[in-house]
Amino acid sequence: MAPAIAKPLLSDLVAQSGQVPSSHIRPVGDRPDLDNVDHESGAVITLIDLEQLDGPDRRKVVEAIGSACETDGFFMVRNHGIPEEVVEGMLRVAREFFHMPESERLKCYSDDPKKAIRLSTSFNVRTEKVSNWRDFLRLHCFPLEDFIDQWPSNPPSFRQVVGTYSTEARALALRLLEAISESLGLDRGHMVSAMGRQAQHMAVNYYPPCPQPELTYGLPGHKDPNAITLLLQDGVSGLQVRRNGLWVAVNPVPDALVINIGDQVQALSNDRYKSVLHRVIVNSESERISVPTFYCPSPDAVIAPADALVDEDDDHPLAYRPFTYQAYYDEFWSMGLQSASCLDRFRPEKQDDCSVP
């Protein structure tokens, strides 16, 4: 009898074996240590009401966003402007996609990290020594008309529903970047302008139930390489943020999105605001869906802080030498997901070939 062909996607592999494959088991010193997680402090991750962001109390909302970026790098938003039916539709078609037959899903499969549209597993299966407990569908989505025809055509409503959500998410990302600019004392449009033509992509994540969640990660601790991330998640907990040396569980809040700043805002703010370590753990009872939308500079955008944020005499020297987002992203991808900050490679004292010529 011919040997069975290995399943390329985790969800199909687990459905077949019902076990944690050896490829997904972390070394003993690199496991989640689920007993040492703070499940209380997550409740104090700032929840910001955006209803007045374009109203008479805008200044208060902007100050709250700035404070959250400075202290935690993470916050939640409600009254964010994305209609409830759009959010529910996004989660619905995500679940429908990952529940389709294996043969249908695999039409989108690729292990090539350079492909703009692809279904894959873990993070980068070509280079990883240990895989992560995740399947994902990666979609580039701005400009939308450049990519939507390459998206999956099943489920039948996928392109329409996801296209609407991605457009709404972009509008929210731009509003938040304007508020972040203002909170730093800059012109409202500074951050958006500094990002050039901009880019946007999303990862539709599927985390199957895991028989032994203490052995693996959905995603290990890492910082986001982009400017700002908008996270939509179902009601299943999984996100954890590093705070004061502890992992803190950030449980889902109904009708709220989780926002975190990425490395590009840290660089553009000249280290005023911090990109923060976060990770995803899995559980043995429930599947989990999450949809992070990543808003990014264009590859040729030169990332450097505004002159007003650099002052050698005021304890704010230049934190990073100017670099293109493409140079940064190439470095990030070569490092893979790890706790070390890719930004450290762009400190002024680390001169190499990654800076702007």
Q: What is the CATH number of the domain that holds 318?
A: 2.60.120.330
Residue 351 lies in a domain: no
Q: Is residue 314 predicted with pLDDT exceeding 90?
A: no
Residue 96 lies in a domain: yes
State the CB neighbour count (10 A cutoff) for residue 132. Answer: 25
Percent of residues, the chain, with pLDDT higher than 90: 81
Residue type, 36: N
Which one, of 20, 18, 19, lies nearest residue 31 by Cα? 20
Q: How many domains does the chain have?
A: 1
Q: If pLDDT is split at 50, 70 and 90, which confidence band does 313 have?
A: low
**Stretch 327-339: mean pLDDT, rounded?**
79
Express each pLDDT in 81-110 by its tens digit. 999 999 999 999 999 999 999 999 999 999
Beta-strand relationship, 47-49 and 74-78? parallel
**Stretch 164-172: mean pLDDT, rounded?**
98
Q: Is residue 357 predicted with pLDDT exceeding 80?
A: no
The tokens of 70 are what? Answer: 């400075």
Q: How far apart are CA 270 and CA 184, in angstroms?
A: 10
Q: How far apart are CA 276 and CA 293, in angstroms?
A: 17
Express each pLDDT in 15-70 by its tens digit. 999 999 999 999 999 999 999 998 886 666 899 999 999 999 999 999 999 999 99
Q: Is residue 330 predicted with pLDDT exceeding 50?
A: yes
What pLDDT sits at residue 4?
45
The three-class DSSP label of residue 156 is: coil
Percent of residues, the chain, with pLDDT higher than 70: 94
Q: Is residue 302 predicted with pLDDT exceeding 70?
A: yes
What pLDDT sits at residue 2?
37
Q: How are strands ordered across the β-sheet holding 74-78?
A: 47-49, 74-78, 257-261, 228-233, 288-296, 199-207, 135-142, 117-121
The three-class DSSP label of residue 327 is: helix
Residue 10 lies in a domain: no
Residue 352 lies in a domain: no
Residue 4 lies in a domain: no
Which one, of 270, 275, 347, 350, lies nearest residue 316 by Cα? 270
Residue 7 lies in a domain: no
Our measurement of the distance from residue 227's CA atom to the centroid of its chain's CA atoms, rounded to an integer in Å, reads: 10
What pLDDT sits at residue 123?
86
Following DSSP, what letter does each residue of 274-325 receive, concatenated? Answer: ----EEE---SS--EEEEEEEEE--TT-EE---GGG-BGGGTB---S--EEH
Instruction: Tell me what the pLDDT averaged over the chain comes to.
Output: 92
Q: Is residue 3 predicted with pLDDT exceeding 50?
A: no
Contacts of 33 (CB under 8 A, 6+ apart): none
Residue 3 lies in a domain: no
Residue span of the structural domain in which 184 resides: 15-346
Q: Is residue 318 predicted with pLDDT exceeding 90?
A: yes
**Stretch 279-302: mean pLDDT, rounded?**
97
Residue 279 lies in a domain: yes
Q: If pLDDT is split at 50, 70 and 90, which confidence band does 325 have?
A: very high
Q: What's this model's pTM, rounded to 2 decimal places?
A: 0.93
